[in-house]
Amino acid sequence: MRKKVTLITGASGEVGTALVERLAAEGNRRILTMDVHPEPDSIKGMSTFLQADILDKNLFSRLVAEYEIETIYHLAALLSTRAEFTPETAHKVNVEGTMMLLQLAAEQSAWRGEPVLFMFPSSIAVYGLPDLDTKQRYSRVREWEWNYPTTMYGCNKLYGEMLGSYFNKNYRQLAAERPVMLDFRCVRYPGLISAFTVPTGGTSDYASEMIHAAAQGKAYTCFVREGLAIPFMAMPDAVDSILELATAPREKLRHQVYNVGAFSISAGEIRDLVVKAFPGTEITFQPDLKRQNIAESWPIDVDDSAARRDWGWEPKFDAVRTFAEYLIPNIKKRYQ
């Protein structure tokens, strides 16, 4: 008999490690993880880990012979800055990888006679506000507004959302007999900040970089202007939101894609909180205009009222609590 598993792709990344820790602690499921990068020490022994490329088709045929995949958290992606250096590779990983996994989930759903739950993290990168005036005027965007991404990553995520919604509702819509379809659910994350990992390849990375540098007594030069504001979220809330959406009753969900918000903050306000926690830290602003333009095209905040209404989303960490109770104590311990 095939072993029932929850599959997590991109397990070695920031959200991946936090999610594996949380699911492993619950202890009620077998977890299969994969990543093209090695398994971080912090999650060793918590799952069956495969160091593999999600574009490896043979791997997936081998997997389905051995496992019954009940749930997929598809986290593997190339983030916004990195994707601009290698847009073709980003498209392969972010779009073709997602398509392959959706097909796998669709086949598994039909074979099991029960939907595979497919959880997909999207991003504020799907938005593209054309200028600062518009950014000010539409400061809390709803899911369907300003979906004009300016980056390859944003385009890839937006298309991933659409593909998932297609597989959820319209896959093989002209077939005489419709197969059982997968259950696709997506959270659109703001910039995420973790106390335990430092991101790579993103554009919202300045927030994490600033605080991790300060905790190590290093000076930091921020690559966006002081007044630039976008939404952020503490990692525990990011994990909560994807798990809460995963367990929400399907009949309550009116959408496939939900904004999730926590707090909006400018780079200067982050600097103030960091300097308060680590007095004497030297933080300066020297915008890299190209990277700044990417962050500038993202909204100041998101309207997440649909998530609050449909599945009771409520973040636990505002900016002050994120710093005081989550980041500062954990980061201090980490670098001591």
Can you give the binding site for ligand AKB, defined by CB under 6 A? 79-80, 123-125, 153, 191, 202-204
Host H or E run for residue 304: none
| Rounded Cα–Cα distance for residues 170 and 87 (Å) | 29
The smaller minimum CB distance to ligand AKB, of residues 123 and 297, is found at 123
**Least distance (Å) between residue 191 CB and ligand AKB:** 5
Host H or E run for residue 213: helix 205-215
The smaller minimum CB distance to ligand AKB, of residues 172 and 290, is found at 290
For tokens 């659910």, the residue is: 185
- Yes or no: say if 195 and 274 are a contact pair by the CB < 8 Å rule: no
The smaller minimum CB distance to ligand AKB, of residues 29 and 82, is found at 82
**Least distance (Å) between residue 207 CB and ligand AKB:** 9
- CB-neighbour burial class of residue 218 (10 A; exposed 0-12, middle 13-18, buried 19+): exposed
Q: Is 54 left (phi over 0), alpha (psi -120 to 50) or beta?
A: alpha
The smaller minimum CB distance to ligand AKB, of residues 192 and 213, is found at 192
Which three-class secondary structure state does DSSP give residue 41? helix
**Least distance (Å) between residue 94 CB and ligand AKB:** 11
Nearest residue to ligand AKB on Cβ basis: 202
**Least distance (Å) between residue 295 CB and ligand AKB:** 8
End-to-end alpha carbon distance in the chain: 48
The smaller minimum CB distance to ligand AKB, of residues 124 and 234, is found at 124
The smaller minimum CB distance to ligand AKB, of residues 69 and 163, is found at 163
**Least distance (Å) between residue 261 CB and ligand AKB:** 13
Helical H segments across 248-314, by residue range: 267-277, 289-296, 305-311
**Least distance (Å) between residue 82 CB and ligand AKB:** 8
